[in-house]
Structure 1
Amino acid sequence: MSRAFLVVLDSVGCGGAPDAARFGDDGANTLGHIHQTVGLRMPNLMRLGLAQAAGLSDIAGEGLFGVAREVSMGKDTPSGHWELAGVPVPWDWHYFPDTHPAFPPEITAEVAKFCGTDGVLGDCHASGTQIIERLGEEHMRTGKPICYTSADSVFQIAAHEESFGLERLQDICRHMAPMLHAMKVGRVISRPFLGQNAADFKRTSNRHDYAMEIPSPTLLDWAKADGRATYGVGKIGDIFSGRGVDENRKGFDDALMGHLSDLVDEAPDGALVFANFVEFDSLYGHRREPEGYATHLEWFDEAIGPVLEKLRKGDLMLFTADHGNDPTWHGTEHTREQVPVVAAGVGRKDIGQVMFVDVAASVADHLGLSERGPGRSFL
C-alpha cells in the first residue's frame, strides 16, 4: 500500500501570486530573489524540478513539478496549511494594528491579571528575536510577560523558561486562546527562551501554537477515517489543534529531518506523514537575511538526499510551501506568493499551475482515500 510524505518548507514561495498587490507584495519572490542575490545550489530538489517550477531555470526536472496558488485571504501559517490540507479559510482573520499599543486593553489586562503582574511588556508589532533581545532582561527583572504580534493574525507571548516557567507560559497562552479565537485571531503562540542577558538569549524548541479549530475535516482527518496511520513533524500538530494526528514529533529543523528520515523507515503501509520545516521562515525570512536563508535551503537539500533514496516503491514525497517570506523585501512580514510543488515517486510530470487544495486531493488520490475534498488530483 502506498505511503505519502507531504513536506512544507515554511515560507519558500516563488513569486507571482495574482493578488499580491492587494497585500502590498507585488514583485515579491522568495526563491527568485535569493537566487539572484546569493545564488542557490540545491541539486536534489532542482533535479526533481524545483528550478523549472520556480522559474530559476528552463532545465526540466525528473519528478513532478509546478506551482500552486491560494484562495484564502491571508498569507499566514494556518491559512496555507489548512488549504494545502483541503480546507480554505472561510472567514477573514483579525489583524492587530501596527501601533503602540497594538492590543485592546482588555486583552493585556487579562494577561497581566492571570500572571499577577501590573502590566505587560511589548504590546506592539515586533520580530520575535529582536523583542526578546530588547526586553528580555526587563522581563526577567519584573516578571512581566512580553506580548507582541506581527502582520499575521497572531498573539505571541515570550517568557523565560526558567525564571517565568515553561508550564506557566503555556498556561497563560491556553487561557488566552478562547478570547483571541473569538476575535478570529488565528493563533496564540508561546515563545519560550533561555539565556542570562541580551547577548545570549535564544528561543527554545518548546514553542507551542494554540490555533483556532479548523472548521471542517482535513486530509489528516480523511486519512484517519480510512484507518491510516498519521504523523505530524514539526508544528503540524499545533496548526491542526491535534486533529487527525496520531503522533507528532517536534524539534528544531535538524531534529525534524531526523524524524522525517525515521518515519521513512518506520511508517507503515498506507501512512500519511505531514511535515513542516519552519526555520526558513522564523530564522531568516522574518529577519531579512538572504544569505542565511540560502544556506538553510542548501542544508535542507543536502540532508533530504539520503531520505529520498530510502523511499519505498509506491511512496510519494511532495515538497511545497505555505506562503512566501522574501528576505529581500521591505518589512519583516510574510509575502503573498504562489508556491512550488515538487514531488518524487510519481515519475516526471509538469503540472503547471494548480491550487493549494489540489495538493490535498492529490495526496488523497495517491493514498486511495475515500475523501478528496474540493480540489482536483494532478497525479
Structure 2
Amino acid sequence: MKRVFILVLDSFGIGYSEDANKFHDVGADTFGHIAEYCYFGKANYNRFSSLYIPNLMSLGLGQVYKNITGYLPYGIAKPLNVIGSYGYASEISSAKDTSSGHWEIAGVPVLFEWDYFHNIKNSFPDNLLQKISCAHGLTGILGNCHASGTDILNDFGSLHITTKKPIIYTSSDSVLQVACHEKYFGLTNLYELCQKIRYILDKYNYNITRVIARPFIGEKKFHFIRTNNRRDFSKLPPGKTVIQKLIEEKEGDVIGIGKTSDIFGHIGITKKIYTSGLQDSINSTIDEINRISQKNTIVFSNFVEFDSLWGHRRDVSGYALGLEYFDLRLLEILNGLKIEDILIITADHGCDPTWKGTDHTREYVPILLYNKLFPVQYFGHRKTFSDIAQTISKYFSLSSMNYGSSIL
C-alpha cells in the first residue's frame, strides 16, 4: 500500500514572501537568521558553533534557500550529494496562523478574513464573557488581554489558584486561550470549559480559528510551567481536505501526530496520537513508519515546539538545537521508508526568533520531497501550499483538489 508522511516543522520559514509587506514582515527569515546567529556565536546556549543539519541539507534545504536569496545560509556548507527533490511555496491564505497554513497544505486555503480580538486590554466583549461565565458557572475570569503564555502565568497564576477563575487571553492571532492549573482547576474541567467556549463562539458568529486549552502546573510566580496537555478546539476547514478524500475515496487511514488532529477539528483523521515534546513526536512518527500498513495511509505530523517553545519565545538557541536534534533523527526516518513511501517536509508559516515582537512571520516555506525512486530535481517556486495536497491527491489517484498543481 502507498504511504505519504507529511512532517510539518511548525513555523520553519525560509525567508519573507512577496506579500510580507502586508504583514509588516519584510526582512523576516527564520532559517537564515538562525543560521546567522549560530555562525556568529549568538546562539550558544546549550549548543555551540554553526548550525549543523546535514540531513536536511542533503534533501535540498540549502539549495532552496540559495535559489531564493542567491547564497547559502551562514556557516552551512553545500552538501556533497542532494538525494531529494526540493522547492518552496508561497501562502495564499489571508492570514499567517497555524490553521490557515495546515489547511492550505491539505488543499483548502483560507481566502476569507478571520475575526480577531484587537484590544490589547479588555480584549473580549462583556457580553461574550458573560455567556462564557454563565455556561460554565464561573464567578469571573482573569486576564482579558493580549499576553505571552509565560507572562500571563506570572501575572495571574497565583490569583487563579486562590480564586479558581480561569485565565483567558489572546494574541495577534485569531485565538482565544484559556490557562488553568491542572491540579487546582482540573484538566477535564478545562477541556469542558474550552468546548463550551468553542460552541459559544460559533453560535454567536465569532469567526475565531481556535480555542486553546493551556494547562499549567507549579505553586508560585516564576515557577509556573505549561504542560504538554494542550488541546486546540478548532473551527472546521471550509472545504474537503486531501486527508478527508483519502478516507472517503480510498478507505485509507490518516494518522494525526501531535496537534494535527486538533487543527483539523478531528475531521479526516482515523487515528490521533497526542505527544509530549519533540522527541516523543519524532518517536511516534518513526513508529508509524515502521508499522506495516494494510491501507493507503497518510501520516501527518506536527512538530509544534519549533513554534511554541522557540519561535514565539524568540529563543534562537532553542530553535537551533531543535533543528539539530530533528536532523539527527531524520536519518532514522529516511532509513525506515519503504520503496513506495513519499516523505514531505514543510512548514505552515514562519516565526523568526530574531524578529520584533512574538508573532508569526509571513515567509516562504520549504517543500522537501523524498522517494527512493524519484529523480532529484529542483521544482521551483510553488504559488500555494496546496501544491502539496494536489501532489498527494495525484499519488493516491484521488479526485483533484480545487487549488494547487501537482509537483509529480
- Specify the TM-score bucket, using the shorter chain as the normaliser: over 0.9
Q: Give 2:378's aligned residue.
A: 350
The whole-number CA distance in structure 2 between the counterparts of 1:48 and 1:371 is 27
Task: Give the distance between the partners of 2:96 and 2:107, measured in 1 at CA.
Answer: 16
In structure 1, the partner of 2:6 is 6
2:334 alignment counterpart: 308
Structure 2 residue aligned with 1:253? 278
Normalization by structure 2: what TM-score? 0.90
The corresponding residue for 1:26 is 26
Distance 1:108 1:150 in 2: 17
* Structural mapping, 1:118-129, within 5 Å: 118-129=139-150
Give the secondary-structure state (helix, strand or coil) at the position aligned to 2:244: helix
Question: Does structure 1 residue 275 correspond to structure 2 residue 275?
Answer: no
Aligned to 1:237: 261
CA deviation map 1:254-273 (0-9, x unaligned): 11111100000115152111
The one-letter code sitting in structure 2 at the alignment partner of 1:230 is V
CA deviation digits over 1:235-291, x for unaligned, max 9? 111011111100011112211111100000115152111110000000011111111
Q: What is the match of residue 65 of structure 2?
A: 54
In structure 1, how many angstroms separate the alpha carbons of the residues matched to 2:362 and 2:218? 35
Q: Deviations over 1:323-377 (max 9, x none)?
A: 0000000010101111011122133110110121101011222233234442111
Q: Do 1:365 and 1:372's aligned partners in 2 also have CA atoms closer than 8 Å?
A: no
Other-structure match for 1:42:
53
Counterpart Cα distance in 1 of 2:268 and 2:178: 27
- For residue 46 of structure 2, what is the aligned residue in structure 1? none
Q: In the alignment, is residue 210 of structure 1 matched against residue 233 of structure 2?
A: yes
* Structure 1 counterpart SS, 2:159: helix
Residues 8 and 120 (structure 1 numbering): CA distance in 2 closer, same or farther, change over 3 Å? same
Query: Per-residue displacement from partner, 1:128-176 (whole Å, max 9, x unpaired)?
Result: 1221132111111111111111111000000011100111111111001
Cross-structure match for 1:97: 118
Kept in 2: contact 1:50–1:342 (CA 8 A): yes
Q: 1:29, CA displacement in angstroms?
A: 0.7
Residues 166-191 of structure 1, C-alpha deviations (whole Å, 9 max, x = no match):
11111111001133242111111111
Deviation of residue 113 (structure 1)? 3.0
> CA contact under 8 A between 1:365 and 1:377: conserved in structure 2?
yes
Contact 2:92 2:111 survives alignment (8 Å) = no
* Pairwise CA distance, 1:109: 2.3
- Matched residue SS, 2:351: coil
Give the distance between the partners of 2:375 and 2:177, measured in 1 at CA.
42
- Residue of structure 2 equivalent to 1:378: 407
Counterpart CA distance in 2 for 1:304 and 1:35 is 19
Task: Measure the CA separation in 2 of the matches of 1:91 and 1:201.
Answer: 37
Whether the aligned pair in 2 keeps the contact of 1:232 and 1:248 (CA below 8 Å) is yes
Q: Residues 111-260 of structure 1: matches in 2 within 5 Å? A: 111-181=132-202, 182-225=205-248, 226-251=250-275, 252-260=277-285
Distance 2:230 2:37 in 1: 31
1:118 Cα shift? 3.3
Which letter does structure 2 place at the counterpart of 1:348? Answer: V
Q: Which amino acid is the alignment partner of residue 292 of structure 1? A: G
- Contact residue 65 and residue 340 of structure 1 kept, 8 A: yes
- Equivalent position SS for 1:54: helix
**1:321: which partner in 2?**
347
Q: Deviations over 1:41-73 (max 9, x none)?
A: 111111110111123629473211111111111
1:3: how far off? 0.9
Which SS does the other structure have where 1:157 is aligned?
strand
- Cα distance in 2 for residues equivalent to 1:113 and 1:184: 21
| 1:285 is aligned to 2:311 | yes
Aligned length: 379
Aligned-partner Cα distance in 1 for 2:327–2:171: 29
Moved more, 197-206 or 288-297: 197-206
* C-alpha deviation, 1:314, in angstroms: 1.2
* Residue of structure 1 equivalent to 2:41: none
TM (norm. structure 1) is 0.96
Contact kept? 1:4, 1:367, Cα under 8 Å = no
RMSD: 1.5
